[in-house]
Every structure is written in C-alpha cells, then in structure tokens.
Structure 1
Amino acid sequence: MSEKKPPDWPAIEAEFRAGQLSNRMLGEKHGVGESLIRKKAKQGEWTKDLTDKVRQEVRTQLVRSAVRTSNASEREIIEQAGITGAEVVRTHRRDVRRASDLVGLLMGQLTSAAGIRADLEATVEELCKDDETGQREARLMKAISLPTHAGTIRDLSTALKNLVTLERQAHNLDELSSEETYEDRLARLMGAKE
C-alpha cells in the first residue's frame, strides 16, 4: 500500500494567490479539503492579490495570439480584439434569432395542442387500448402535456442565456461586476439551482 504524499502547500499557495481556481477546485486538484485550504490561507494570510494581474495577462496573451505577433501595434491589437468581439456578437445575434424562432414554433405548437387537447388525449387512449400496463399511454400523455412543452421552452432559454453569458465573459466583452471567479460563475450558471 502506497503512502499518501503530503500536500504541496507552496504550490497550493501560489495557485490560491493567482486566483484562477476556487478553493474547492484547488482542493480537488491537490487532494486537500476546501476547509483546510481556507484554514491555511487564513493562518498564512494568503490573499488573491494576483487575480487582476493574471486576468490582464490572460487578456494580453489572448489578444496577442489573435494577431499572431508580439510586435503588434496597439492599433492592430485593438482592431483584432474588435473583430473577434464583433464576431462573437454576430454569432449571439444569430443564435438568439434561431432560438427565438424555435420558441415561436414551440409556442405555436402549444397553442395548437391546447386547442385540441381533448382530441389528442382521445387519440392516445385509442392507440393504447391494448396496452395492459398503461405505461405506453402514460408516456404518450406526458409527451403531449403542456408542462413538458413549457419546460422545454424554459430550459432552452435558460441554456442560451447561460451560454451567451459565458461566451461573452470568455471574450472579455462584459466587465465582471463582482469578485466572482470564472469557475464560480460557471458553477452558478450551469448547476446551482436556487
């Protein structure tokens, strides 16, 4: 049986100070509990004082790689960043238009289904009259249910909102209004149910 290696606290401190990973993510990466990281950070008076510098360097590297030269002029860098940002916005506009069209289509289907609900239910009952378990009828009734369709519209709009927000943040098109890290924001948008 192999012995567990002790945590590499200098590496953990460096990554903590860089501010790119949440405490939970640091803990997972280094096999240490989040509470222990908080305790060590408090004892050692660690601060995430490099977060802004790291964020700025990431932006610089992204822009420089987009213009593919370290000797690019400020104007070339700004122009390339503008081109990239404009393309992101165009993509969002196209995606939002397609999603809006799909929501309109689904709303039309919901309106139609609501108007002929009794006929749909009768058709399902007729198709499933030989189904002894009732499972087939239950599945079909759920498929034509209004809450199922409304949930689809809600889920689609939520997913699109989250993806647009994350992509805009990844391209630095919006300023962060808080000290929330990218990982925290991603976790909040993608998984946290309120």
Structure 2
Amino acid sequence: MGKTKKPIDWTAIERDYTKTSLPVRELARWYNCDEKAIRLRAKAGGWLRPGQETSAVPPQAPQPLDALVAPIVERLREMAPDEPVQTPDIVERARRVALRMVDELETITSRRGDLDVLIDRAFAGEENSKQRASLKKALSLSDRAMALKNLALATKTLAEAHAPAGKKAAAAEDARSAGLGSDWGDDLAGPAARPN
C-alpha cells in the first residue's frame, strides 16, 4: 500500500520564502515538495524575497510629455467649449496639482515603513498576494524615484510654458521698450524720429 501524500503548507512556504533567505532548494527539501512548484507559486503570487523590494529595477523610459498633456488640454476644452482656454490658467492649475503630488510623494516616502506594515496586515493569510505585491511595488524606491523624475519633468515643462518665448526674445523686448516715452529712448530712434 502506498503512502498518502501530506498536503503542502503553501502559507508556511510563502512566509519562509518572503521572510527568510533560505534557498528555494532548502525550502523544497524542508516542505517535501518540488523546487519548481515553489518557484511557480512564488511567481504567480508575486512573492518577493527579503531585500528584493528595494532592489533597483531599471527605470522605464518616461512617456513624452506632449502625449500626456495633449489629452488633458483637449478634455479641458471640451468641459468649457464656450470659453477659450487660457494657457496661464492651465499652467497654474497644473502647477498646483504637481505640488499636491509632490506632497503625496513626500508623505509616502516618510511613512513607508508604516504603509508596509499596513499592507502586510491587510493581506495577512491570503493566498492571492498579487495585490499586496503591486502595493509594495508602488512603495518601492524605483517607483518613487520614477514619480519624482516625472514630476520634475512636468514642473520644468510648466515653467517653460509659462515663461516668455525665450531669453533672447525677452532681452530684445526689454531693449526695444526700455526707453519708450523718454528723451533718452527717443534719441535711440531712427533719424526721422529725432527732434532737431
């Protein structure tokens, strides 16, 4: 008569996989199961090894800002079709949103440990940990760094959109209008405009 196979304790395996640095081969030996089964279950469940959540993931290339901003501007135009959309208004509103997002990012960064514990508590004992893994990934250094990089790029673009055409154009305008309405400015005008 054959032995009855003992059921595999996946909860304990997940705990040891995510909390210890035991090799998967040792875990398989300890729990009397196949090493490949543990790897497949870990991948499907989004289990992370200790220290893996802070490992540097290569950053994704940011999307071009034009592609992100154009739909927003179009939606704003659709919301108020009778009123022309003013660029300074959009820039100011976008600047306020960017500032709020920086505040949120700062809060997440300063409370990362607390949020990590809350996520663990919320998903404790659940077999499907994809949601937990995705939430922990959102707290990861690489995701926060990417958010900061995108916010910096958006802020730079907003500043450029709000600025005049450029430094040379601003300097030319300043030079052109510097002496208007004064005797000095009139002296710089062409010969026909000079008083005799």
Structure-1-length-normalised TM-score: 0.32
Rg larger in 1 or in 2?
2
Structure-2-length-normalised TM-score: 0.32
